[in-house]
Chains A and B, each alone.
Chain A
Amino acid sequence: MNLTLKIWRQDGPTARGELVTYQVPDISPDMSFLEMLDVLNERLNAEGKEPVAFDSDCREGICGMCGLMISGDAHGPEKTTTCQLHMRSFKDGETITIEPWRATAFPVLRDLVVDRTAFDRIIQAGGFISANTGAAPKAEAILVPKENADRAFMAAECIGCGACVAACPNASGMLFMGAKVTHLGELPQGQPERAQRVAAMVATHDAEGFGGCTNIGECSHACPKGIPLDVISQLNADMRKAKSGRL
């Protein structure tokens, strides 16, 4: 395959960025999208030009480190992570625009690399169960109905990649936050801190510069793990109950 890439290049957090056009010939449809960028980077290096910076680590769709806006779609045209996207999803001769996640809360560090530590700070605010090492009761002491365990697992599949924020016109982080609130809220172990968790996480989310949810649904559509929109309903319900002291 022969492709035209328009890639966002930006030297540093405060530098001005621009889209730069590259031609990449001889791409195999079996390559992953990031392997295609590896090929480009090898070529740039050989030409004495600095390679394009982008994040990736596990390259098997679970660490959440990679994430590119590909021709306007977070993680590209398939429902998967950028690292699991293969070139067979594109057409020969296609022009592909590659940009970083764009959100106030995710500043660009260089080229396609952004700072997503705002997500870590939301977790710090309350995305945990306080259980010091050694203080745990026996695992079988508390039964968890399979239905709840399965729903908790579904929500806990979130990989924290940030595609939901990048896809949302409001750059809202509510799918990410809703997933965590649902994961912990489905479990008996998560009940004692449920009210303060949701309140603290929402406060941090807003302070970090993420927008609010207006029920558009782009987040869930872009989510490589298919986290459903109803975790946001759960988040809102928990928040209302927490504020009115009913949780």
Chain B
Amino acid sequence: MNHMSRPLARPALRLLLFAAALFLLTGCGGRLATTNWAGLSTDGRRVYLAYGAQVLAYDPAEETQVWTHPAESTGAVFFAAPAAADGRVVLGDYGRAGGLFSPRVTVSIYGLEEGDTGGASQVWVNTDNARDKIVAPPLQVGDQVFLGTADNHVLALDAANGTLQWDYETGHAIWGQPAYADGTLYVASMDHSVYALNAATGELKWSQPLGGALPSGPTLGDGLLYVSSFDGNVHALDMATGEERWAAPSADDWIWGAPALLDGTLYFGDIGGTLYAVDAATGEQRWMKETQNAIQTSPVAIDDVLYVASQVAVDTPTGALTAYAVTDGSQLWSEPTTTPLYATPVVVEDDLIVSTQDANALLIGFDLATGQERWRYALPQTN
């Protein structure tokens, strides 16, 4: 053994360890929190999925992928559900790193125009006004686009060219899609407050602090809006004044997904697995059901059936799509999925569509009536 190596051992080992640390730290996830579950939406005809490096449009009737955007990966990732209406699709990304030696992050909002036969072309891109990722699905209303950002801002853009119309800052990130009614935009923020803004000017009409963070957008009802909260309640607020009318059901667990409103009853679940039905006017409980599954999504209520996508909490988490009777919460059918279901399902014609985190079943179409699987869409190998 060369004894001269002994004094060298310590600094050499250090260098080696720091090099390993560089590798490990870089491998720990990089500079941006770039993962989330896929964002799913529909315009009633096509399904839109933001699942990472691309956003895709899928036609369930034809069972074909219509387009993807961008065609080539740009380094940006997409997880916010796109907003599609009247042939225009608006989407926001999680940001693109500025380069190896630049700490700057560029967050972009895109406006796409869909063709009738397929394909989508980018009409505009706004890289100036969002400074942190777009988690919340945008909302299109007429010639305006509204969206919340993770850097606390509500932005109103011109839908035609993406230019900023107004900007309102809340106290924390906005994860839920804003809601619009009669010239007023309602925004639920993670800062525990709901904001009512003049949709034309961004002027604050009222704000109402609540008991916990608000991860989803408001649900609009008859003179009331309903907001789910981490304080274990759904809060009912007067749309005109923001005054709280009632809060229920004081659950022990977070209520994450926005409540679904059907025929005067609100339906929602908590992440502990309890499903609730309460009177929309009074907050009085109609029924509750322990499902054993973590419910983080919003239920989908159609006719007399409630469809709930959930996570089955076992050693290897899986998911389930379950149908319940709206009258008493009795289970009608349940279909297992290989990964947890975090995104609220969408309905196109007779298909109930869920997105999973399994590349072999990125989208699955179930028969609305029977729960039988009709089709599935796998991520193309070329992606």
Asked if A and B are interacting partners, one says no
Measuring CB to CB, which residues of chain A are less than 8 angstroms from any residue of chain B? none
